[in-house]
Structures are given as C-alpha cells and as structure tokens.
Amino acid sequence: MPLQYSAARTSIALKRSPTKSPIKKFQREAKKLLPSQRLYQQNRLAKSSVPSLSPSPSSLESHASQSSQSPQSPQSPSRSRKPIEKLVVSDYNVELDYQLSKDDDIKIAIDIINLNRWSESTELHDKQKLRHLEGNTTEEVIFQIKGLSLTSKAELVKFRLSFPSGIVTINQLYSIFSAQGNTFVDKQVELNVRQGLLRKFVLNNASPVILRSINRLQMRKVTYGYENVELLVKTEDYYKNLINIVESTDKENEKLRLTMSKFLNLAKSSPLQMFISTSLFDDYEVSMLIQMGYLTLTTNFSSSEEAQLEISYPGCGRFLRLINEGRMWLVGTLNRNTHKEMLEDELFRKWMGVSLEGDLKLNNFKKPFYGYDLHWVLADAFGGGIVEVFNTPVGRGWRLTGKI
C-alpha cells in the first residue's frame, strides 16, 4: 500500500500581519502610482497578435471564404477610441491667481494662504458656489453646506477645530513668488526670522518623495526617500498661542502654567534658536512640552543625558499629513493621464467630484482633505518641483516633472 502524505495540523501557517513600517507602507502606495508590469504584458500581447507581413496562400483563401460568407463585424469601441492628445503649450509665463510681486511682504503671502485655505471661504474662486454662506463661527458655516451628511459635518468641524492655524510650507511661498525665484523667498524668510517676525520649523524626513530618472538610459531607475520640510508661522501667532495657554490655565495646574511661561520666555529671548537642551527643563517640563507639541525629540532620550530637543509647532503633524495626502492625490490623478498632464479646471472637477447629472459631490470636504482648497495643494507641489504649470489656449495646465 503506497504511503500517503498529509500536512500536519501544526504546519498551518497563520496569516502574517502587514508591516507597520511607514517606509514600507509608503513604498506600497507609491508603487501604485508608477507604471506597472501590466502595461508591459499588454504591449507584448499586442505585438505578438500582429499578423505576419507575408501570409500563406492557404490563410488568404480561408480569409476570403470567411469574408464572403459572413458580414464584416463592426469595430470594437475600445479600438475606435481616439488617443488622448497632448495639451498645446502656449508659454510658461504663467500668472497664478495668488501670485505676488517682489514689492509685497512675505507676511502678506502667509496671510493670503491662511485666509483662503478652505474651499468654502476662499476669495480666489467660487467653483463650489459656497461663497454665499455666512456665519460667525466655523460650525455655523459648515452646517449650512448642502450635500454633506450630519456625520460628515461633525467630523469636518472636529478636524477644523484641531487644525493648526497660521502655518504654511515654504514650498507654498515659493509658488506665490515664483516669478522672483526661490532665492528671493529664502532671503526674505531669513531676514524676517532674524528680525523676529517669523518663526521657522524644520522637520527632518517628514515628506516622502519618489524620484524617477528622465534619462532614457535610466528610465527604470526609481529612488525612494524622504525630504525635510520647512514650516513657517508668524511670530505673533506663535506667541499668541502660548500666551493663551498661560492665561487660561487654572490655579490647580500651576506647574503647567509655570512651564509654559518659562518656555514662552525662552522662545522670546532666542528667536533664532531651533534646538534646546534637556538640561534647561526638568523631566516633568520636558514631558509636558512634548505632550503639548511644542518640543520633539531628535535623539534617544533614554540613553542621552542631554538630548537635543527640537522646537516644534502644535499640530504640525496633522498639517503635514494633509499636505502629503494632497500631494499623493495630485500625483495619482496626473499619472493616470497618458501624458501626465491635465487642465486646471479638470483637476478641480476631479478634486470636488461631479456626478453624471453635473452636481458637485463635495468629495474634498470629506476625509482626508476636509475642505482644503486645491490651490494650496498645487502650490506646495509646484514649489517642491513635483509639477510644472503652463498656459494653453483653453486655460492653465499642470504636468508631472518626474519627482513625486
């Protein structure tokens, strides 16, 4: 009797949980944006299905007999579809809706971004027909928006109330002063920081990037990585948040009030300082400042007696997640186009969502964008070199540059 083998019960492999590594997660999401092997397989099948240039006589006879007996089948819609034409570039001298001149102060640019960052209150456009909404608070305005469920409105209000105010990326400023160049912005930022008018925060390896080589000999070369992000806020807004905490803290939390007051005095005395030593605060003060988002650790706190602490801005992580989500959406949308480009009006329609009847779906008011205006997603991507903008006979166009 032949032996029969069966798997042991103990050999059943459990399903492995997916890795929680942010780098692996980003690479999985990023690979979806890159050309897949499916296109390569489709091209191979298309080439193999091309008929020979010198068919045999027997094949010609059979083809003639079949064509005489049966009528010609209509061409399939997929084959008769016209290829997407590339946008006609008129010039690259684009004037953006929010563009400023060299005579304008950089603090004005920060105010423009913050005053127009939400789609229902922006003065740059009224594509969603929401400018008529009036209200004294965020809740009053949001609950007047038609087309959103009460659950979506509640989540929207909760997100807005916890979202940091007054903060912008330096890439957005690059876009506003694109005619003057990045060096102009860097000089103005440095000057305002030294004068104590702006506060700069540098977050290391905070934004994921993919770099694809545009060289024909290196078309398959893809580089994954992260880049630093520079955030800016007006100093008066930064101090205002600290002062509000100090004044609103009750007497029962006297130690918290003293900690925030101590940190406020340190921030005022050292406007250029971006790092501080843990020796300036005790363990409770360090823990409280980290918990409230005003400090972040840059070295292993448990193994270093004097770890370096980086001065941060509360809620900047939430802000960066929104910016990165917008960047990934923009890259994915443009990457699905044959020529990696699209008109700005079409981008706005996809950002908002339009039904078959032409009604707006307000997709940008739901997670993860919560009403953030597309202008500032484009501005951050343009300032970061991810996309380029150009004029066409029918409006502005945007195209991927190869850096994602």
Q: Are residues 399 and 325 in the same domain?
A: yes
How would you list the strands of the sheet with 295-297, edge to edge? 275-277, 308-311, 295-297
* Residue 41: C-alpha distances to residues 34, 47, 403 (Å): 15, 10, 26
Nearest in space to 170 (alpha carbons), one of 201, 130, 128, 211: 201
In three state form, how does the secondary structure of 356-392 look?
CCCCECCHHHCCCCCCECHHHHHHHHHHCCCEEEEEE
At 17 the pLDDT is 55
Report which DSSP code applies to 10: G
Say if residue 249 is in the same domain as residue 352.
no
% helix, strand, coil for the chain, step of 5? 45, 15, 40
Q: How many CB atoms lie within 10 A of CB 373?
A: 25
Are both 285 and 213 inside the same structural domain?
A: yes
Q: How far, in Å, CA of 383 to CA of 182, rounded?
A: 8
Considering the domain boundaries, does residue 398 fall inside one? yes
Torsion of CA 238, 242, 247, 252, to 10 degrees: 160
How far from chain centre, in Å, is Cα 370?
Answer: 13
Comparing CA positions, the residue from 321, 322, 329, 331 lying closest to residue 211 is: 331
Q: Which two tokens stand for residue 18?
A: 């997916």
Are 357 and 261 within one domain?
no
Instruction: Give the pLDDT score at 34.
Output: 59
| Domain of residue 229, residue span | 196-314
pLDDT in tens, the chain (404 residues): 555 545 444 444 444 555 566 666 666 776 666 555 556 667 767 766 655 545 555 554 554 455 444 444 445 444 556 678 899 999 999 999 999 988 889 999 999 999 999 999 999 999 888 888 888 888 999 999 998 999 999 999 999 999 999 999 999 999 999 999 999 999 999 999 999 999 999 887 667 666 665 555 555 565 666 778 899 999 999 999 999 999 998 888 899 999 999 999 999 998 888 888 888 899 999 999 999 999 987 754 554 456 678 899 999 999 999 999 999 999 999 999 999 999 999 999 999 998 888 788 999 999 999 999 999 999 999 999 999 999 999 999 999 998 76
In Å, how far from its chain's centre is CA 243? 31
Start-end of H helices in 49-181: 57-69, 77-80, 106-115, 138-142, 150-162, 170-176
Please check whether residue 151 is in contact with residue 159, taking contact to mean a CB–CB distance below 8 angstroms.
Answer: no
Long-range contacts of 107-112 (CB under 8 A, 24+ apart): 107/192, 107/197, 107/198, 107/234, 109/168, 109/173, 109/176, 109/177, 110/166, 110/168, 110/173, 110/198, 110/232, 110/233, 110/234, 112/176
How many structural domains is the chain composed of? 2
Are 180 and 326 within one domain?
Answer: yes
Same domain, 238 and 223: yes
Whether residues 367 and 380 share a domain: the answer is yes
Threshold 0.85, pTM exceeds: no
Indicate whether 301 and 337 sit together in one domain.
Answer: no
**Nearest-angstrom CA–CA distance, 352 and 10:** 52
Q: How many CB atoms lie within 10 A of CB 369?
A: 19
Q: Are residues 215 and 305 in the same domain?
A: yes
Q: Please check whether residues 272 and 334 belong to one and the same domain.
A: no
Going across the sheet that includes 341-343, the strands are 341-343, 395-400, 387-392
User: Is residue 204 helix, strand or coil?
Assistant: strand
pLDDT of residue 400: 94
Counted residue by residue, the chain has a size of 404
Q: Of 288, 314, 340, which residue sits at a domain end?
A: 314
Q: What is the pLDDT of residue 350?
A: 96
The answer to whether position 338 is within a domain reads yes
381 belongs to a structural domain: yes
CB 286 within 8 A of CB 263: no
The greatest distance separating any two alpha carbons of the chain, rounded to the nearest whole angstrom, comes to 101
Q: If we measure between CA atoms, which residue out of 185, 192, 184 comes closest to residue 170?
A: 185
The answer to whether residue 321 sits within a structural domain is: yes
- Which has the closest alpha carbon to 173: 241, 234, 235, 120? 234
Q: Does residue 21 sit within a domain?
A: no
Same domain, 181 and 201: no
Supply angle C-alpha 33, 396, 183, rounded to 5.
80
259, 285, 314 - which closes a domain? 314
The pLDDT assigned to 129 comes to 87
Task: Quote the CA–CA distance of 164 and 375 in Å, as a whole number.
Answer: 18
Domain assignment present for 25: no
Q: Do 202 and 265 belong together in one domain?
A: yes
Q: Measure CA 4 to chain center.
A: 57
**Residue 305 belongs to some domain of the structure:** yes
Instruction: Flag whether 45 is in a domain.
Output: no
Q: Which of 294, 314, 334 is where one domain is finished?
A: 314
